[in-house]
Amino acid sequence: MKLAFFSGEHSHDDVRAVSRQLLVHAKGDDHRCLFAFLHRSTIALKDEIRSLPHNIQALVPSFEHVLDLVHHSASLRDGPLAEPVERALLCVLKIGALIG
């Protein structure tokens, strides 16, 4: 059994750079697993947001792709969803980097 440990620390510049690299890689034919992972992550996050109360849903900007939320991190940073969204994005970025 293999175990991967991911640090919870990151800089916002790193997050933006990694998200751009993942998007570029996911578009290539060589990285279909990465594309599928990002697509499923987007669906899962949207499903989780739909299950929240409407007043909390209103705090999340609309997005087409999970990595679009990287560009909204400043607006989310001060709200009640700051930590959960940041952690979800960090997981997607770290696992996505491992895949692709």
**pLDDT tens string 7-54:** 666 666 677 788 888 888 788 778 889 899 999 999 999 999 999 999
CB 15 within 8 A of CB 93: yes
12-16, 83-87, 89-93, range with the lowest pLDDT: 12-16
What percent of the chain has pLDDT above 90?
A: 20
The Cα 34–Cα 47 span in angstroms is 20
